[in-house]
Amino acid sequence: MTTTTAVRDDLAVPTRKTGFRTLLGKLARDPWAVASSTTIVVFVLAAVFADQLTGITGNDPYTYHQDLLDAKGQPTGWGGGIGADHWFGVEPLTGRDLFAIVVYGARTSLFIGISATVLSVLIGTIVGITSGYFGGWYDRIVSRGVDVMFGFPTLVFLIALMAIIPADVPRPPFIALVIGLFGWPGISRIVRGQALALRERNFVVASKAMGARSWRIVLGQVLPNVGATIIVVTSIIIPGMIAAEAALSFLGVGVTPPTPSWGRTIGDAVLWVRTSPMYLVFPGAALFLITLAFNLFGDSLRDALDPRTARR
Amino acid sequence: MSQGDHAEAVLAVSALRIAFARQAGPADLAPPAVDLVSFEVERGRVLALVGESGSGKSATAMSILGLLPGSAEVSGSVRLEGRELIGADAAHLRRVRGGRIGTIFQEPMSAFTPAYRIGWQIAEAIRAHDPRRPRGQVRARTLELLASVGLRDPERVARAYPHELSGGQLQRAMIAMAISCDPVVLIADEPTTALDVTVQAGILELLRGLRATRGTAILLITHDMGVVADLADDVVVMRRGTVVETGPVQQIFSAPAHEYTRELLAAVPTLATLQTSQRDAEEEAAPLDETLAAEVRDAVIAYGRRGRGGGVVAVSGASFRIPRGRTFGLVGESGSGKSTLGRAFAGLLPLRSGSIEVAGIDLAAASASRMRALRRSLGYVFQDPASSINPRTLVGDAVTEPLRLHTSASSVERRARAAELLDAVHLPRTTIDRFPHELSGGQRQRVAIARAIALNPTLLIADEPTSALDVSVQARVLELLAELQSELGFACLFISHDLAVVQALADEVGVMRRGEVVEIGPADRVLTSPEHPYTRRLLAAAPVADPVAQSARRELWLALDGEDPEVAA
């Protein structure tokens, strides 16, 4: 073997750059990504360490404090009873600690939001990648099914479903299951489109020419190339899932009392908005912040993963 | 250029420097993409800007029109008929673009708006510079222009949408648009790269005619030395943003002064050098075992469904055999069915009738498990190395994918084999843990070749393996293929549109046209004294990198072209 060609300049290899580290570097330079990921981390930590956090002031979201209310059921003191013991004040009529309700509510929201998202992404990816890659009659049937799911009056159906399920079914996991089962068509369309395009790419054809079985091509060649899209879509649909849970609870068919939920608290607080506005502001701000943070983070992630959207 | 102020120079570029701001840090500017480039384009002459990818030739052309993105910093001077263009106001630049300087782009398919008729688009170009011209005159002028670029039926072309025309027709329409306002300079950025050779020859002839009849100065940007030899009067050779050599075309080709120019010319595979001693040596090395590696008999391949309408027949009645250890070159223009046939050899497309046998197994009759076994003995190298390797796998894994599929080799064994394979294709072992995008085009093609030979295939199918590469890289990849073949003794089905490349490698050649194999024979015979008129035209149309030989070929092509009634560019 000759070595004459080995010294040519096109054989020099550039230094190693790992994709993940580059991605983190890009995100770290994007102020929106830093702010939104910080917000997400704070909320997740608050939800995980809810017991310890509320333990500082010795409160929980269930104990009534009638002594903090006046004769009309309004909290006494400034801003709905904000003070050293009750950082966000207390709930009108019951006197429960609003900080504890918001923190435990984060637990409910994030649990339902994330598990519903995981379920949706799982179904959507499997359906999308198989229908896009295999095509044919399977794709035609599945795609019509997806069309039906899109046209389905999901909210009405969910309200009706929630009204009839037995009381002894644990609500949060059931809600996660139901929202997740209705959330996947969008993802499956996106993944299917990508799989359709990838199917024609040469490396997939090459793999087929080398004798790879279909499942191996799907898992080894197609899936890794859809990965970035799936990650971005995931971070963008989480807020939608959280909002869906909040909407159901707001309408009174979601998480049942006394389990804290932002949606239900917001629903209750609407009645008190003139006399105790802070009762609405804290859970509302929490819901607003976490959905905004996830949306912004998803956008930043997409920009960082896609070299074509270099803005600076 | 040291010729000073030439009286006829219409476009003078001097000390041009272009730098693109780097994305990462705003503070450090990247090294300039174009550095101190100077040249002059004279009236009625063609100046060719030659260089490989990344040499800055296209950036130079775009800077003349002020069309570089905002991140580019341009300094120096570009003077058109004595007026400075760099830093000129937008209104002046608009008058210049399309008015004084016409532009022809590489991809005629994407240079037109798909939503409007060709005639409308040309009329728009005329009205943009002369808004008050009456409608009837504009229309007459449009038809006159379309006729002047050699389009047979200007009325029909003017009514057509871009997708209704062929690449050659579109490029002619593009030229009609570029000359609509009688520009003094025509910038042609790789005007024939996307076209077939026979169409290319027609377009080059048209450009030559424009230069002669209208006295238009042409700035030709190309990587193809054959095109340069055919059209250019003066040549500027660029490399990595700087001019390495400038001179008249005969001087550049006959007595290149700079080493890079010599290398570039040496790397161009030529049709003229036929029996070299190198080829003889190679033939000796190849095992003269006349058993067959693959055979195709009366193969018919069609896309679309059977029955009703019958789909589109891409290959009809192809038959040839490839002996072990030999290379069969399949030549043809786009749409001739050569790639389709290649895919059928890999069992990726079903045959409608006929048979293909590879290593003694009939593809049409083989069961799924036989088929998988057969694929062990096949290697496939694609045209575009960027898309044939999964961007998310490491090179080491990509190269040993066949081992993972067909053997029970452990990951340690696979890694050892990957290192061996990378050695075999002369890539440093450190590439084993790289991603494909970290490598250059030539390196990626080496990875693709390494993957194809991982299981010592009986047949290697190479579908245009070098047409996405620069000539100097192409020469080395071809060298590598020949070397591996003599070492491993695989048979090779080499598919290419480039006759010179096929001649460099193939023992036997099949010429395809519109799905049919029109001529088969030993490479030396077919490519020097072809029997079929189509082969003869194809050969005459392929430009060679030698101005003297090329003008002789041109005469021949023009003579042949006149004979053939089917010619429609």
Q: What is the pLDDT of residues B406-433, one digit of tens each?
A: 888 888 888 888 998 888 888 888 888 8
ipTM: 0.70
Q: What is the distance of C-alpha A113 from the center of its chain?
A: 5
- 3-state class percentages of chain B: helix first, strand second, coil last, to nearest 5: 40, 25, 35
pLDDT exceeds 50 at position B113:
yes
pLDDT exceeds 50 at position B390:
yes
- In this complex, the residue of B23, B388, B438 whose CB is nearest that of residue A206 is B388
> So what's the pLDDT on residue B308?
53
pLDDT exceeds 80 at position A308:
no
B418-427 contact pairs (CB < 8 A, 24+): B421/B450, B421/B451, B421/B453, B421/B454, B422/B395, B422/B447, B422/B450, B423/A1, B424/A1, B424/B450, B424/B453, B424/B484, B424/B487, B425/B449, B425/B450, B425/B480, B425/B484, B426/A1, B426/A3, B426/A5, B426/A6, B426/A11, B426/B480, B427/A11
pLDDT, chain B, mean: 82
Q: Among A88-92, B146-150, B235-239, where is mean pLDDT lowest?
A: A88-92
Dump pLDDT digits (tens) for B529-550: 788 888 888 888 888 878 887 8
Please give the angle made by the CA atoms of B269, B271 and B277, to the nearest 5 degrees: 75
How many Å apart are CA A106 and CA A100, to the nearest integer? 10
**Section A152-175 average pLDDT:** 84
Q: B109 burial class (0-12, 13-18, 19+ CB within 10 angstroms)?
A: middle
Assign A264 a pLDDT band (cuts: 50, 70, 90).
Answer: confident
**Section B61-73 average pLDDT:** 82
- In this complex, the residue of B343, B392, B479 whose CB is nearest that of residue A224 is B392
Dump pLDDT digits (tens) for B326-360: 889 998 888 788 888 888 888 888 888 888 888 87
Check if the beta carbon of residue B79 is closer than 8 Å to that of residue B15.
no
For B398, phi then psi, to 5°, come to: -60, -45
| DSSP β-ladder status, B327-332 and B508-513 | parallel
Sort out which chain B residues have CB atoms less than 8 A from A208's CB and list them.
348
Assign A9 a pLDDT band (cuts: 50, 70, 90).
Answer: very low
Dump pLDDT digits (tens) for A112-122: 889 999 999 99
How many Å apart are CA A258 and CA B225, to the nearest integer? 81
Sort out which chain A residues have CB atoms less than 8 A from B383's CB and list them.
202
- Which residue bears the tokens 């038809």? B143
Check if the beta carbon of residue B396 is closer than 8 Å to that of residue B478.
no
Assign B1 a pLDDT band (cuts: 50, 70, 90).
Answer: very low
How many Å apart are CA B414 and CA B398, to the nearest integer? 11
**Section A281-285 average pLDDT:** 87
Q: Among A224-233, B29-38, B86-95, B114-123, where is mean pLDDT lowest?
A: B29-38
| DSSP β-ladder status, B217-222 and B34-42 | unpaired
Higher pLDDT, A91 or B186: B186
Assign A236 a pLDDT band (cuts: 50, 70, 90).
Answer: confident
Dump pLDDT digits (tens) for A25-62: 888 888 888 999 999 999 888 888 888 877 777 777 77
> So what's the pLDDT on residue A304?
80
pLDDT, chain A, mean: 81
How far are the Cα atoms of A210, B220, B497, B567 from residue B551, in angstroms, in the given order? 46, 18, 22, 21
Give the DSSP H or E segment for B396: helix B395-399
> So what's the pLDDT on residue A248?
86
Query: Closest residue of A to B342, CA-based?
Result: A209
Dump pLDDT digits (tens) for B272-313: 533 333 344 344 444 445 677 788 888 888 877 665 556 778
What percent of chain B shows pLDDT beyond 90?
Answer: 5
Q: Going from the N-terminus, what domains does chain A have, and what CATH number goes with each?
A: 103-305 (1.10.3720.10)
Q: Among B2-16, B263-277, B477-491, where is mean pLDDT lowest?
A: B263-277
**How far is the alpha carbon of B36 from chain A, nearest alpha carbon, in Å?**
24
**How far is the alpha carbon of B111 from chain A, nearest alpha carbon, in Å?**
21
For B24, phi then psi, to 5°, come to: -65, -70
pLDDT exceeds 90 at position A126:
yes
Assign A144 a pLDDT band (cuts: 50, 70, 90).
Answer: very high
Sort out which chain B residues have CB atoms less than 8 A from A6's CB and list them.
426, 428
For A253, phi then psi, to 5°, come to: -115, 15
Give the DSSP H or E segment for B295: strand B292-303
Of A256, A234, A285, A263, whose CA–CA distance to A115 is shortest? A234
> So what's the pLDDT on residue B305?
66
Q: Do A5 and B393 touch (CB under 8 A)?
A: no
Strand partners, B322: B294
Q: Going from the N-terminus, what domains does chain B have, and what CATH number goes with each?
A: 1-100+181-271 (3.40.50.300), 108-175 (no CATH), 283-377+457-523 (3.40.50.300), 388-456 (no CATH)
Q: Do A211 and B371 touch (CB under 8 A)?
A: yes
Q: Do A13 and B431 touch (CB under 8 A)?
A: yes
How many Å apart are CA B352 and CA B315, to the nearest integer? 10
Sort out which chain A residues have CB atoms less than 8 A from B239's CB and list them.
none
> So what's the pLDDT on residue B30?
63
Assign A167 a pLDDT band (cuts: 50, 70, 90).
Answer: confident
> So what's the pLDDT on residue A125?
93
pLDDT exceeds 50 at position A151:
yes
Nearby residues of A141 by Cβ (< 8 Å), 6 or more positions away: none
Of A125, A20, A32, A104, whose CA–CA distance to A62 is shortest? A104
Q: Do A202 and B382 touch (CB under 8 A)?
A: yes
**Section B80-97 average pLDDT:** 85
Query: Closest residue of A to B453, CA-based?
Result: A210
- In this complex, the residue of A201, A209, A225 whose CB is nearest that of residue B375 is A209
Sort out which chain B residues have CB atoms less than 8 A from A16's CB and list them.
433-434, 438
**Section B434-457 average pLDDT:** 86
> So what's the pLDDT on residue A158?
85
Residues in A lying within 8 Å of B, measured between beta carbons = 1-3, 5-6, 8, 10-11, 13-14, 16-17, 19, 201-203, 205-212, 216, 220-221, 224-225, 227, 310, 312
Mutate to test the interface with A, among B426, B447, B493 (most CBs of A within 10 A): B426
